[in-house]
Amino acid sequence: MLTRLAIIGAGAITGEMLAVLGRALAGPLDCLAVLARPGKGDAVAQALGPAAGTVAADFRVVECVTALIATKPDLAVEAAGHGAVRDHVPALLEAGVETAIASTGALSDPDLAMRLEAAARAGGTRLVLSSGAVGGMDILAALSRSDIRSVTYTSRKPPKAWAGTKAETLVDLDGLAAETVFFEGTARQASADYPKNANVAATIALAGAGLERTTVRMIADPGVNANVHVFDVVSDAAEVSVRIVGKPSPANPKTSLPTVYSLVREVMNRVSPIVS
């Protein structure tokens, strides 16, 4: 059973995770360690301290992955972006620390994917791809052993959700009066072109038909006020359609609540005697 937890990242997702874990855990963990950016440790300790105190008896903030490994976590959870996966996760895996990541789009880089797999093998542990903002990965992963004929994922978001991305150079986000498809291509290309928005595409692709065989459509739609994820699978074993309307965190509109709860599930599945 998990008693020592590490979290990579000290942003909004981590704050929300700690609030949920504080309510969900039957009792405090032995240790919680959070990896903060260099020079930010004191500020993070102050910001997260109250919530962390409800999660673990011993709360520590560290500023390098070596110090995080030294806390001897049973599980590490990444909630800090693609760069954090590249910079910190290989060392955790090589040290034998099972690691669950939210930023699955990082694996669209084939060199990094190979490096992570090699690190997990060397450490005798696992890299876990959390489902993040989407669901239905159980049936999709099961169908990956069947003859999958097509997987199509459509990401529909309000125009403002695409601000700061390549979409700004393709369409007038502020002037849209109707839904506009601005990207259609493979999941690998989507993850490369929209790294902060395509984790769901990567999650679906890696669970199912792969990054090259998963078709992704991205839509800016002024008629919606939430992120809508739809994927359709056709295989010789089943046909599946899943639609999820994700809700943002009240504290930070850029934080997906389903992603928070997905990471919490990874923790709870390692402290509970029955796993679902």
Q: Are strands 239-246 and 4-8 parallel, antiparallel or unpaired?
A: unpaired
Sign of the C-alpha dihedral, residues 134, 184, 215, 197? negative
**Annotated catalytic residue, options 229, 246, 255, 264:** 229
> Are the CB atoms for 247 and 158 separated by under 8 Å?
no
- Residue 227, marked binder: no
CB 170 within 8 A of CB 218: no
229 catalytic residue (yes or no): yes
Binding site annotation covers 199? yes
Question: Which tokens go with 177?
Answer: 């009066």
CA 271 to CA 250: how far, in whole Å?
28
Strand order through the sheet with 56-62: 56-62, 29-35, 4-8, 75-78, 98-101, 127-129
Side-chain-facing half-sphere of 263: CA atoms under 13 Å: 32
Q: How far is CA 54 from the centre of its chain?
A: 23
Q: Write out the binding residues.
A: 133, 199
Q: Write out the binding residues for NAD(+).
A: 133, 199
Active site residues: 229
